[in-house]
Amino acid sequence: MVEPGILLVDKPRGLTSHDVVARTRRAFGTRKVGHAGTLDPMATGLLVIGIEAATRLLTYVVGADKTYLATIRLGQSSTTDDAEGEIVDVAEPAAVSGITPAGIAAHLQALTGEISQVPSSVSAIKVDGRRAYDRVRAGEQVELKARTVTVSRFDVLAERSGDGHLDLDVIVDCSSGTYIRALARDLGAALGVGGHLTALRRTRVGPFSLDHAAELENISEASLLTPAVAAGQVLTAIEVSADEARDLRHGKRLAGQAARVCGALAAAIDPDGTLVGIVAKRGQDMKSSMNMPEESR
């Protein structure tokens, strides 16, 4: 029997997130595998994988904030806002050499905080039931609506001058749904020279860090986070008695216990250290929003 758990994987470049899920299914001998947040084939880094009943926890991970390391090339624009597209515009070398650290800092500041962002047309966003990138590949013109995202950190770590371009290594802390390709595009546009992404690596998803991720070729030997441990990292964990655990599993409310839930949701852990489920406030009561199978620890 396959034990449920959360697997942290360092996705290599050139593979889709679905490819990683497929390899995980083979490695663990189960079809019940999912992931919390897609990484493009060009991108590398942390992919959070759920196995068996732990896939139920992924919905609580998808919306977590994230950290990325990226390289932005200023002076060139591409059809996809990243290195996988065709270069369609190249700035004059004098314009690129005229970029100043103060100018970069000012435009980074403008792209920090709560901002309105138009996703790249080759994103995975669905338009009338089809992915935007599928429509673009089919030759359609796609215009996506702006969405509000939060960029809490957008800092330059290093810069390198190239042949008519300037590369910036940056670190970005952002809300779920933020497109780093769009940040590269918008920074280049604001500086008047164009820009696109040449490298992207995700280092954090909520409480989960790339430091604890397994290489893809070693996932069959990787240690899984139990549902209880993983849920306790994503949400506040609260201990419940055996009687309370039984009532929650049977769909009963715990009368007058809402104050034990800090925030909107919490992870209820029974005396054996098993995740009972995710609980929420219902008036003055506590009630389960999602129950785990009883064998899931």
pLDDT score, position 2: 87
pLDDT score, position 190: 97
Q: Kindly state whether residue 296 falls inside one of the protein's structural domains.
A: no
Residue 122 clears pLDDT 70, i.e. is over it: no
**How sure is the predictor about 1, in pLDDT bands with cuts at 50, 70 and 90?**
confident
Pair (189, 71) in one structural domain: yes
pLDDT score, position 135: 59
Q: What percent of the chain has pLDDT over 70?
A: 92
Q: Kindly state whether residue 297 falls inside one of the protein's structural domains.
A: no
Residue in 10, 40, 81, 82 annotated catalytic: 40
CATH code of the domain covering residue 28: 3.30.2350.10
Pair (97, 53) in one structural domain: no
Pair (78, 181) in one structural domain: yes
CATH code of the domain covering residue 248: 2.30.130.10
pLDDT score, position 68: 98
Residue 297 clears pLDDT 60, i.e. is over it: no
Q: What's the mean pLDDT in 113-131?
A: 76
Q: How many domains does the chain have?
A: 3
Pair (168, 256) in one structural domain: no
Pair (169, 287) in one structural domain: no
DSSP labels, the chain: -PPPEEEEEEEPTT--HHHHHHHHHHHHT-S-EEESS---TT-EEEEEEEEGGGGGGGGGTTTS-EEEEEEEEETEEETTSBTTS-EEEE--HHHHHT--HHHHHHHHHHTSEEEEE---TTSS-EETTEEHHHHHHTT----PPPEEEEEEEEEEEEEEE-SS-EEEEEEEEE-TT--HHHHHHHHHHHHTS-EEEEEEEEEEETTEEGGGPEEGGGGGGPPPBPHHHHHHHHSEEEE--HHHHHHHHTT--BTT-GGGS-SSEEEEE-TTS-EEEEEEEETTEEEEEEEPPTT--
Q: What's the mean pLDDT in 199-208?
A: 98
Q: What's the mean pLDDT in 105-120?
A: 95
Q: What's the mean pLDDT in 193-210?
A: 97
Pair (272, 257) in one structural domain: yes
Q: What's the mean pLDDT in 172-201?
A: 96
pLDDT score, position 65: 97
Q: Which domain holds residue 147?
A: 66-205
Residue 51 clears pLDDT 70, i.e. is over it: yes
DSSP labels, 208-275: EEGGGPEEGGGGGGPPPBPHHHHHHHHSEEEE--HHHHHHHHTT--BTT-GGGS-SSEEEEE-TTS-E
Pair (99, 158) in one structural domain: yes
pTM: 0.92
What does the pLDDT look like over 258-281, one tens digit per residue? Answer: 999 999 999 999 999 999 999 999
Q: Kindly state whether residue 140 falls inside one of the protein's structural domains.
A: yes
What does the pLDDT look like over 78-101, one tens digit per residue? Answer: 988 999 888 999 999 999 999 999
Q: Kindly state whether residue 172 falls inside one of the protein's structural domains.
A: yes
Residue 254 clears pLDDT 90, i.e. is over it: yes
φ, ψ at 226 (rounded to 5°): -65, 155
Residue 129 clears pLDDT 80, i.e. is over it: no
What does the pLDDT look like over 134-173, one tens digit per residue? Answer: 655 656 666 778 999 999 999 999 999 989 999 999 999 9
pLDDT score, position 160: 96
Q: What's the mean pLDDT in 60-64?
A: 95
Q: State the average pLDDT for the chain.
A: 92
Q: Is residue 81 among the annotated active site residues?
A: no
Residue 133 clears pLDDT 70, i.e. is over it: no
pLDDT score, position 136: 59
